[in-house]
Structure 1
Amino acid sequence: MAMEKKQVIIDTDCGIDDAQAIMMALAAPNVQVVGITCVYGNAAVENVCQNVLRVLAICEREGIPVFRGAGSPLVGAGSSPTDHFGTDGFGDVMKDKDPLWERKIQREHAVDAMIRLVTENQKQISLVAIGPLTNLALAVRLDPSFPQKLKDLYIMGGNKEGIGNATLCSEFNFFMDPESAYVVLEEFLCPTYIASLEYSCRNSLTWEFFEELMNQDAPAAAFMKMITSQCWAYSREAMVTKRDVYFGPGFVSYDAYAMSAFIDDHVVTERIECPVRVELQGSNTRGMLVLDRTNRLVKKHSVFIFTKCDIARFGELLMMSLRQPCKK
């Protein structure tokens, strides 16, 4: 019998680690990517769209529809993208930009597409959100029943220990749009799974693994090696930072942790289940994820926060993502 595939929409601010996560989904034989929705974050949304198109072209999956979404946060002007992955999200190494890229993007807005696809396939589609959560917050504002039509939601974002990578106490994806993160974790009552900053960093892989991953004899690996080549975030020497002090040294492909949990139920080996809330008011903690272990928030909905993973299994999914048949 044919394997029943998991259907997924990927909501992304496509930087280098997003590209790795998307390739992981494309390589998984049990996954059908029904659409990719773009949001600002690692780069302006126009660059995000182009990055997604390039990944799909490399992997010969150009039939997957790509939708342009929010270019700014739910409230206010928001923060400018960082140069963590270069100004374009792909390490600023791309020279041959596609002048016709806009023709390849669907005319339908990402939020409208998200609502339509999920409504047409209720309880069948998972949503893996690996960027700021603006598109998701807009979706629930346009259709309050949207979350209950989802099968489940996987998020890469948030931090719970006060160690941030965007500000003193906040993780990048939540910091870029704290109000949207708040809305999503208050109003999405579907099964929700979070790969936090701590989870990603505490389950890092060795830099020797990174070298082996990038040096595989496959076009996809050559592509990833190119876009990481000039990016300080993928430099073993440059990454001797506070992250190493708190979490230990290693290679971390942040968004791939959320994607791997969606693909393989056995990747996550330990998790916490409890209500959560996103802090909006704190001058130092805005965007931080608060865990309610004592039910003081009196919320009926709990989420699952990952804490430990099967690193060998995760590493194999990464390896497979760059072995898939691709074109140069």
Structure 2
Amino acid sequence: MMKKLVIDVDTGVDDAQAIMVALAAPNVEILGITCSHGNTTLENACKNTLRVLKMCERMDIPVYRGSSGPLLARKRHAADFHGKDGLGDAPDPDAPGLECLQEEEAVKALIRIVSENPGEISVVAMAPLTTLATAVKVDPSLPGKIKGLYIMGGNTESRGNTTVCGEFNFVTDPEAAYIVLNTFSCPTFIAPWEFSCRNSLPWSFCDTWLDQKTAKARFMERIFSHTRKMIQTVRYQKEVVGEATFNTCDAYAMAAAIDDTLVTESEKVAVTVELEGTYTRGMMVLDHMELLKKEHKATIMKKVDLEKFKKMLMASLK
């Protein structure tokens, strides 16, 4: 069966990798891509998304402009990691312009697409959750129409990559993450930061992945160069990742949405987000003691079939 997806992105390099995984999957129909602030500015995220679609010859997929900033938090971007433009500062003079965006804005498009396909759409959220939080405020019935929600974000052991205890997507808009985790009652699958670190791949695989003799591989090699150098610095490996491995965070959530058998170990637990802590604002909280009395449990990904994941990544650049 074809899997119908709406993808919410803040397109930096890992979003580009995830989008290309979805585009290469034969069982996937992407009904729309909504763009948000996050890794880079909203404008850059929109441009970068269009650029990826052009490279993959899929400009038929509609792209929608979303939120330019968080609900309440101060703006933050990840220019040091993804480059100032979000795609490694590797410009393309022939990249599509913003006139290629749809006139309809992202929140309205998300609500419309889901409403037109009730129970059929899986949403893959790889950006700060501003778009989804706004959408559920506009249409509280939205979560009940979604087949599944796949989130890259949050953390399970207070291990931060942006603040002491916080993962980037949740820290960038904590209120949005709180709203989504506490109002979306559809099946929810979360790929947290520690999970992606534990399921990362050796750099030798990355070399093989990028060595494919295709235009897509050359494109990925160009946009990934800045981020790769950043990741491979001794300081980053020691303080953030912990070992020298290739970790394409967003692609895990995307791969799980595409292939139901990819995740080999998970747990179901109620979750929320801390909003007030000096050091813990934006941290995902797992309620193992069930003190929150929440009926809805999220599925927290723990392990994946790495051989399947490698095949999906390889196919994305063919």
Q: Classify the TM-score, shorter chain.
A: over 0.9
Number of residues of Structure 1 aligned to a counterpart in Structure 2: 317
* 1:36–1:67 contact (8 Å) kept in structure 2: yes
Q: Is the CA contact 2:40–2:78 (under 8 Å) kept in the aligned structure 1?
A: yes
Offset from partner CA, 1:4-27 (integer Å, 9 cap, x none): 210000000000000000000000
CA distance in 1 between partners of 2:144 and 2:314 (Å): 34
Equivalent positions of 1:154-303 (< 5 A) are 154-232=150-228, 235-238=231-234, 239-245=236-242, 248-303=243-298
| Contact map agreement 1:271 1:307 (CA 8 A) in 2 | yes
- 8 Å contact kept, 1:195–1:258: yes
Q: Deviations over 1:22-60 (max 9, x none)?
A: 000000000000000000001000000000000000000
Which residue does the alignment assign to 2:53?
A: 56
> Quick one: distance in 1 between partners of 2:179 and 2:51?
31
SS of 1:208's partner is helix
Amino acid at match of 1:28: A
Partner of 1:37: 34
Q: Which amino acid aligns with 2:48?
A: N
Give how far 1:81 is off.
Answer: 4.1
Q: How far did residue 101 of structure 1 move? A: 1.2
Distance in 1 (CA, whole Å) between partners of 2:249 and 2:78 is: 17
Shift of 1:74: 1.1
Amino acid of the structure 1 residue aligned with 2:10:
D
Q: Deviation of residue 75 (structure 1)?
A: 1.4
Overall identity of the aligned pairs, in %:
49
Contact 1:214 1:224 in 2 (8 A): yes
Matching residue within 94, 97, 113 for 1:117: 113
Distance of 1:156 and 1:308 partners within structure 2 = 14
Partner of residue 326, structure 1: none
**Equivalent-residue separation in structure 1 for 2:285 and 2:238 (angstroms):** 25
- Aligned partners of 1:118 and 1:150 also within 8 Å: yes
Contact 1:44 1:81 in 2 (8 A): no
Query: Conserved in 1, the CA contact under 8 Å of 2:182 and 2:272?
Result: yes
Paired position in structure 2 for 1:28:
25
Runs of 4+ in 1 over 4 A off after TM superposition: 232-235
Alpha-carbon distance, 1:252 to partner: 0.2
Opposite residue 143 of structure 1, the aligned amino acid is D
User: Where do residues 76-115 of structure 1 align in structure 2 (5 Å cutoff)?
Assistant: 76-96=73-93, 98=95, 101-115=97-111
* Equivalent pair of 2:171/2:281 in contact (CA under 8 Å): yes
Deviation of residue 229 (structure 1)? 1.8
CA offset digits 1:292-313 (Å, max 9, x no partner): 1111001111000001111111
Higher helix share: 2
After superposition, the C-alpha distances for 1:267-313 in whole angstroms (9 at most, x for unaligned) are: 10000101011011111011111111111001111000001111111
Relative to the length of structure 1, the TM-score reads 0.94
Q: CA RMSD in A?
A: 1.3
Offset, 1:243? 2.7
Q: CA deviation at 1:93?
A: 1.2
Q: Would you say the 8 A contact 2:200–2:247 is kept in 1?
A: yes
The answer as to whether partners of 2:152 and 2:192 remain within 8 angstroms in 1 is yes
User: Does the 8 A contact of 1:274 with 1:291 survive in 2?
Assistant: yes
* Long gaps (5+) in structure 2: none
Q: CA deviation at 1:102?
A: 1.9
Structure 1 residue 192: Cα displacement: 0.2
Structure 1: 5+ residue stretches without partners? 324-328
